[in-house]
Structure 1
Amino acid sequence: MQGKVALVTGGDSGIGRAVCLHFALEGATVAFTYVKGVEDKDKDDTLVMLLEAKAAGAADIGFDENCRKLVDLVAKEYGRIDILVNNAAEQHLSHSMDDVTESRLERVFRTNIFSQFFLTRHALKYMREGSAIINSTSVNAYSGGSEVLDYTATKGAIVAFTRGLALQLASKGIRVNAVAPGPVWTPLQPASMPAESMKGLGSSVPMGRAAQPHEIAPCYVFLACNECSSYFTGQVLHPNGKNASSIATHNEPSTCLGFLLMVFVSELVGFRWNDC
């Protein structure tokens, strides 16, 4: 990934931050967005200074004009965008549909799926053959999420968006894929879920635990790196601890198997991730 320019939304914490770190360690220049209201002085100096990641700014990416300004800012700074990671999301606890007000429903859809439409549309002006788009979805898109119903609906929409966009851009040589993590220890969880739920986070999956963000980030490196995933588009990786409740479509288990096979073969031939 040496010399590549990546734009990552929601890059200040959780999976997004881990993705920024992994991309930068592989040689990419990384710009990221963060939650509105967080000042630059609160950013991790290690991430910003040592790994050549740059805070593109606090922008409400649920609105088209903000997305245009953000993308143009990154393109003006670096000349192009090679990798777009649509990762920013929000979720809120809901025990019934009555808890999901019209304003909240719009807010969650704007952050989680509208932003992906807007950012992708504007970023495509600066992307070329060989570029990659990676969308963050969730195991909830397959297993359901009764306590985060609006969030779950957006994650299902992201899967459909990924597949449709992949077909649209295949002839241009731009790949579009997604990652659907299972339970992960991120700030989003305790901020939106009751404390009692946090005690057992991940206990229902066969591996018996939730993942750490750094365990999920390599999936994004794989999908961003042409040497690793040049024949992957319209597919979803499922790092979910073998969540027994997830229901994947027929082609997605082979996607995961292909990823594991690629890693295994890479080890055999001495391939290094930082060769990407």
Structure 2
Amino acid sequence: MQQYTEKPARGPESQFQPGHQIPIQHQKMPGLEAELEDPKPVSAHLPTDDGGYQTYKAAGKLTGKRAIITGGDSGIGRAIAILFAMEGASSLIVYLPEEETDAQETKRRVQEAGRDCHCLAIDLRSKENCRKIVDTAVQCMGGIDILVNNAAFQKMLNDISELDE
């Protein structure tokens, strides 16, 4: 379990200062966290009132649990995998094949937190692949306790009925 540590305030560029602007970066889809410029995302830290960060203090809330995390290679999915590991859960992260670099970094960080992380590069857009994910999770982890359906991209439609399966 990681220790609670205070991080110093980040200075005048802190996200809590008036006028702070989030830097804009552009990547082709799917984006890779490994290719992001500074500032790099943080996955296991929470912001403090003074503009700094503190390490998340785990309490073992998910000890022995097994999670499938779609889009688990980077961004929110990576943070979930790491924080779940800190809480005691193992995971199967699901991602697109071209996101392998990010997935391996997530796996490393989950294992660093002391939990298992299984990786499956697969496209979720078919029922057969979704079944394969469940079968893989059961085979690798012995069951599933948590499903985090995080994989997504934004596609503007006029009506929900325009969504395909």
Give the TM-score taking structure 1 as reference length.
0.32
- Would you tell me which structure has more helix in proportion to its own residues? 1
The yes-or-no answer on 1:150 pairing with 2:157 is yes
Matching residue of 1:73: 136
Aligned length: 99
Matched residue of 2:147: which SS?
A: strand
Structure with a larger share of its residues in strand: 2
Provide closer, same or farther for how the CA distance between residues 75 and 21 of structure 1 changes in structure 2, counting only shifts above 3 A: same
Divergent runs of 4+, >4 A? 151-154
Task: Give the superposition deviation at 1:37.
Answer: 2.0
State yes or no: 1:46 paired with 2:108: yes
Q: Residues of 2 paired with 1:87 and 1:151: CA distance?
A: 22
Task: Note the residue ranges of structure 1 that are not aligned, 5 or more in a row.
Answer: 92-147, 158-276
CA distance in 1, matches of 2:67, 2:158: 25
2:152 aligns with one of 89, 92, 110: 89
Deviation for aligned residue 1:41: 8.2
Give the % identical residues. Answer: 41
- Alpha-carbon distance between aligned partners in 1 of 2:144 and 2:137, rounded to the nearest angstrom: 8
* 1:51-108 C-alpha deviation (Å, 9 max, x unpaired): 32424311001101111111101101111100011110012xxxxxxxxxxxxxxxxx
Q: 1:68 to 1:90 in 2, by over 3 A?
A: same
Q: Give the TM-score taking structure 2 as reference length.
A: 0.52
| Higher RCO (Cα < 8 Å, 6 or more apart) | 2
Any idea what SS the aligned residue of 1:56 has?
Answer: strand
CA distance in 2, matches of 1:29, 1:61: 21
Aligned to 2:71: 10
Q: What is the root-mean-square deviation of aligned Cα atoms in Å?
A: 2.6
Q: Residue 35 of structure 1: CA displacement?
A: 2.2
Structure 2: which 5+ residue stretches go unaligned? 1-61
